Amino acid sequence: MTKPKTWTLKSIAKELGVSNATVSNAFNRPDQLSKARREEILAACKKLGYFGPNKAAQSLRRGTFNIVALVLPDSVEYMVSDPVASSFMRGVSAVLEKNGINLLLFSGNNDNLNSVVDFVDGFICYGRPRNKQLVEQLKQVAKHVVTVDFNIGRDASVNVNNQQASFDIAKHALQKNDDRVAILGLRLLDNDVLCRVYEHHEFEAGQSIAHQRLRGYHQAISDAGITLGDDRTWNIPESSERYASIAAKEALSSTPRPNVLLCMSDLIALAAMREALKMGLSIPEDVRIVGFDGIDEGQRFVPKLTTVHQNSEEKGRIAATLFLSKEQQTAEIDYQLQLGQSS
């Protein structure tokens, strides 16, 4: 069997008896040829099995690839199932697609950026990756980087003030200095274990979203004159009904039973509310529950969830716009307290 001939722009132009520029214009600059002439060239190329200049080679010559890598804090599988992360990704992709740029999802569990760094124009990093090596590589990579909800001291960043927002929602939930508080934390630890957290000092300088929110809770609890029990903070490994329900049931079954649950996501808060209602507790009379994120489900739930609302889709649009502009600046996204009947 005869092996098909491999054509180059130069060899196909010679075969057709036209200039290299004519073939190149037919594929890349249609305005330079008449419609009939362009269609004639393209049809002849197709018949011979030539489908245009090598895009990878063109990208290497130009140094641009029209691809942006979105570095996620966790696995792609986990992040695409999360409503907040999905909303953020929708905002990013909406801006990039309008500009003819493709989006590559990069797992925060990967070991390094080397597998993609030579084929992308830069990185948007959504939250601090669980793999700390990636953070160090992002600080040094010779490509444009936009970070979201954490800062590596270079290029641009987009943030919501997680610590202040958590302080505000906790301050709202706490009413008396004898309130019994429990914290249902999300990914406070770098493991996949659902457990209580007893050592808090290591979180004081942590830059993850969870650590920022925990510091806000701690400040509000301290300002209210409340002592948080050493065994009253839970690490939930993912924002899911299954894990959150187990933690909420354990918290609400502990003695003395907490009358305030500070939850680091709306999905956790909703699971806690379902468990409380199953146990025959009244919300907010027996237990006040607050969340964080402002997802639609929380506003449809009865009683309606009190939470921090952040516009994650808008955050994504701003991050993508900052990337395209190459501006080196920090943008802070507004948040609002959505007061429901759960507190």
Contact 124, 320 (CB under 8 A): yes
* pLDDT exceeds 70 at position 227: yes
pTM of the predicted protein model: 0.80
Q: What is the structure's pLDDT at 93?
A: 97
Delineate the domains of the chain, giving CATH numbers in brackets: 9-53 (1.10.260.40), 67-160 (3.40.50.2300), 162-310+334-338 (3.40.50.2300)
At position 153, the amino acid (one-letter code) is G
Average pLDDT score over the chain: 90
Residue 223, SS3 per DSSP: helix
| Predicted pLDDT at 1 | 45
More confident residue, 60 or 214: 214
What is the β-pairing status of strands 330-333 and 156-160?
Answer: parallel
SS3 126: strand
> Beta strands 144-148 and 181-186: pairing type?
unpaired
- What is the structure's pLDDT at 327? 86
The residues, ordered by sequence, that sit 6+ positions from 36 with a Cβ below 8 Å of its Cβ are none
Q: Which residue has the higher pLDDT, 281 or 15?
A: 281
User: What pLDDT was estimated at residue 203?
Assistant: 66
- Bigger pLDDT: 281 vs 199: 281
- Residue 64's pLDDT band, with cuts at 50, 70 and 90, is low
Instruction: Please say if the pLDDT value at position 155 is more than 70.
Output: yes
Whether the upstream peptide bond of residue 303 has omega within 30° of 0, thus cis, is yes
Axis-axis angle for helices 83-98, 312-325 (nearest 10): 40
pLDDT, residue 174, reads 98
CA distance 83 to 250: 25
The string of pLDDT tens digits covering residues 163-197 is 999 999 999 999 999 999 999 999 898 888 999 99
User: 63 - beta bridge partners?
Assistant: none
Instruction: Please determine, for residue 57, whether its predicted confidence score (pLDDT) is greater than 70.
Output: no
- State the average pLDDT over residues 202-229: 88
Residue 63 has a pLDDT of 53
Q: Kindly state the percentage of the chain with pLDDT values over 70.
A: 94
CB 148 within 8 A of CB 158: yes
Element (H, E) at 140: helix 132-140
- 3-state SS, residue 209: helix
256 pLDDT more than 90: yes
